[in-house]
Amino acid sequence: MNHDPDEDLVRRVGAGDETAMQILIARKLPRLLALSRRMLGDKAEAEDVAQETFLRIWRHASRWRFHHAKFDSWIHRVALNLCYDRLRRHKELSNDDIGIVSDFNDVQSIAPEEQLSGKVERALQRISARQREAIVLTYYQELSNSEAAAVMGVSVDALESLLSRGRRALRSILLKDDEHER
């Protein structure tokens, strides 16, 4: 396996170096928060997932085995598992398969670009979680297809299938929403 770019930092975190921990927060938090927000469509839930992910990083950093997998792939997987826990919990609590409501409530007072962003957020919540995961990992997190497939535990072919179906579903939802508004 190639050298892990996070190796030195994670070793220092495992040794209790608080400066290294702050650097790791700066390096990973924006991406983890973006991942969680796009998976869950909810600001508060996304922040909870980000926090919980870091608690697990602190606990496991001293035992991390670098030849096993890339650290970045591992934290993606941890965050995604935490997202799925929340999605399952919401599905159990909700009779309708509505998904998590985004906090774009008052459309009138929101700028057009924010409205569009909200539409995309809602559309993402309406496609299947696995398709959403594939799109978030490749399009937004910009993982390579092999990295994304490894995080998801699928083949590259399966990943491409999820991506295609996910993008088709999104296109259909967003175009339909567009037609309704005209």
Partner 1 sequence: MNDSPMTPERFAALAEAYGAQIRRWPECDRGAAAAFSNTELGKDILRRADALDALLDTYAPPQVPAALRADLVRSASRHVTKQRRLRWGFSLAGVGIAGLLVGLIVTKLITPSDYTPFHPPELGTGMTAFGDITTDFGISERED
User: What is d(CA 130, CA 153) in angstroms, rounded to the nearest whole number?
Assistant: 11
Kindly report the backbone phi and psi dihedral angles of residue 26, in degrees, each rounded to the nearest multiple of 5, phi listed first.
-60, -40
Instruction: Tell which one of 18, 92, 96, 181 touches partner 1 (CB under 8 A).
Output: 18
| 139 sits near partner 1 (criterion: CB under 8 A) | yes
10's tokens? 């994670």
Placement of tokens 């997202």 in the chain: 83
Instruction: Tell which one of 46, 49, 100, 151 touches partner 1 (CB under 8 A).
Output: 46
User: For residues 115 and 104, is the Cβ–Cβ distance under 8 A?
Assistant: yes
Residues in the chain: 182
Instruction: Tell which one of 91, 121, 126, 130 touches partner 1 (CB under 8 A).
Output: 121
| 83 sits near partner 1 (criterion: CB under 8 A) | no
Among 173, 95, 179, which residue's Cα sits nearest to residue 135? 173
User: What is d(CA 61, CA 57) in angstroms, rounded to the nearest whole number?
Assistant: 6
| Helices 156-181, 145-152: inter-axial angle, 10-degree rounding | 100
User: For residues 40 and 52, is the Cβ–Cβ distance under 8 A?
Assistant: no
Rounded to a whole number, what is the largest CA-CA distance in the chain? 59
Q: How far is the CB of 146 from partner 1 (least distance, A)?
A: 8
Nearer to partner 1, 38 or 96 (CB): 38
| 27 sits near partner 1 (criterion: CB under 8 A) | no
Nearer to partner 1, 54 or 74 (CB): 54
123's tokens? 């559309």
Nearer to partner 1, 84 or 104 (CB): 104
Instruction: Tell which one of 27, 89, 156, 176 touches partner 1 (CB under 8 A).
Output: 156
Size of the site for partner 1 (CB under 8 A): 43
Q: How far is the CB of 92 from partner 1 (least distance, A)?
A: 26
Interface ranges with partner 1 (CB under 8 A): 16, 18, 21-22, 25, 29-30, 33-34, 37-38, 43, 46-47, 50-51, 54-55, 58-59, 113, 116-117, 119-121, 124, 135, 138-140, 142, 144-145, 156, 160, 163-164, 167-168, 170-171, 174
